């Protein structure tokens, strides 16, 4: 128990020294702010310092090239395109591992067990904390793909209206991005990113191709391929988009019907294990109590 307390104290001191050191170094680097800039609030300063601290912790961690490339791709799928996103994510993983290990040490103080079991508990909790951000990142990727898929028919309708009104594809994408900013910000961000790439030295076909590479949703990959083919062969864009949006709506309707038909099967388990015992308790409970009372009277007589 004494060794466990010493280990917990050492881990707390080490984590505090690391974060305080990084915080002071970040504060010294950010001290050269000019008076022309707007003064940030205390909450913004704390958020920026915390993010910079986590990023520096991630930069100090050892990196594996293959895994780093995979996580960078996942961060791009989740909508994080900043160059330091991978370092921030690695810092979050290290922080979660340290906090989980600290929680296991604190729980181990109040739990009975040998020292070997306490060490195994700390290692297991640290591993869970280290892997937990990756599972959260996968969930964020799936949710963003779902949001992009739900906003794609509306975006295609806006593009069709713009192209049929005589606008170029660049102007139609800009207008669609402006209209989708409140309802579907993820898709508006993708359209704005296309405009940003086309305003630089990247060609239009390559910008459309990059749209499909930045997303895991198959429908937006097909949409990007339609844009590439229309730009390459010079075919009519409005007709191709109208056909694709009709296919999208038919598929979404079929998926909704499929989900509705699965509801009956999914309700079997909660009905059988939760609702059915409650119904039996309400309906047969009074009868069982009366039967028990009558039997007790008969046995007494």
Domain ranges of the chain: 2-27+36-142, 146-263
Q: What mean pLDDT do residues 105-114 have?
A: 74
Structure tokens at 9: 């104290």
Q: Write down the pLDDT at residue 144.
A: 92
Residue 143 pLDDT > 90: yes
| Euclidean distance between the first and the last CA atom of the chain, given in angstroms as a whole number | 63
Lowest mean pLDDT among 9-23, 102-116, 174-188, 254-268: 9-23
Q: Is the pLDDT of residue 34 over 50?
A: no
Residue 236 has pLDDT above 90, yes or no: no
Q: How many angstroms separate the CA atoms of 177 and 170, rounded?
A: 11
The per-residue pLDDT for 51 is 72
Confidence category of residue 58, pLDDT binned at 50, 70, 90: confident
Considering Cα of 75, then 78, then 82, then 88, what sign does the dihedral take? Answer: negative
pLDDT recorded at residue 19: 53
Mean pLDDT of the chain: 80
| Over residues 121-131, mean pLDDT | 86
Over range 127-134, report the average pLDDT: 88
* Average pLDDT of the residues in 286-298: 84
Confidence band for 274, pLDDT divided at 50, 70 and 90: confident
Confidence band, pLDDT 50/70/90 cuts, at residue 142: very high
- What SS3 string covers 70-98? HHHHHHHHCCCCCCCHHHHHHHHHHHHHH
């Amino acid at each position: 128990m004494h060794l466990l307390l010493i280990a917990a104290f050492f881990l707390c001191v080490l984590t505090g020294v690391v974060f305080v050191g990084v915080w002071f170094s970040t504060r010294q680097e950010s001290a050269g702010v000019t008076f022309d800039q707007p003064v940030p609030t205390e909450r913004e300063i704390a958020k920026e310092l915390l993010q910079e601290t986590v990023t520096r912790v991630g930069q100090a961690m050892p990196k594996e090239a293959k895994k780093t490339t995979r996580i960078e791709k996942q961060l791009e799928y989740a909508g994080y395109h900043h160059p330091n996103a991978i370092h921030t994510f690695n810092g979050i993983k290290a922080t979660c591992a340290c906090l989980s290990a600290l929680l296991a040490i604190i729980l181990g103080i109040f739990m009975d067990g040998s020292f070997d079991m306490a060490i195994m508990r700390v290692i297991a909790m640290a591993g869970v904390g280290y892997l937990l951000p990756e599972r959260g990142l996968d969930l964020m990727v799936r949710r963003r793909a779902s949001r992009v898929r739900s906003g794609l028919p509306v975006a295609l309708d806006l593009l069709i209206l713009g192209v049929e009104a005589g606008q170029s594809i660049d102007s139609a994408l800009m207008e669609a991005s402006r209209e989708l900013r409140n309802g579907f910000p993820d898709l508006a961000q993708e359209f704005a990113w296309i405009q940003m790439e086309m305003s630089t030295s990247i060609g239009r076909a390559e910008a459309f191709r990059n749209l499909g590479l930045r997303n895991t949703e198959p429908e937006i990959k097909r949409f990007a391929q339609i844009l590439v083919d229309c730009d390459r062969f010079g075919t009519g864009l409005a007709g191709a988009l109208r056909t694709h949006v009709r296919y999208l709506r038919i598929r979404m309707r079929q998926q909704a019907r499929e989900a509705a038909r699965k509801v009956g099967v999914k309700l079997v388990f909660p009905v059988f294990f939760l609702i059915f015992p409650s119904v039996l308790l309400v309906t047969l409970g009074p009868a069982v109590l009366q039967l028990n009372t009558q039997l007790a009277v008969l046995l007494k007589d």
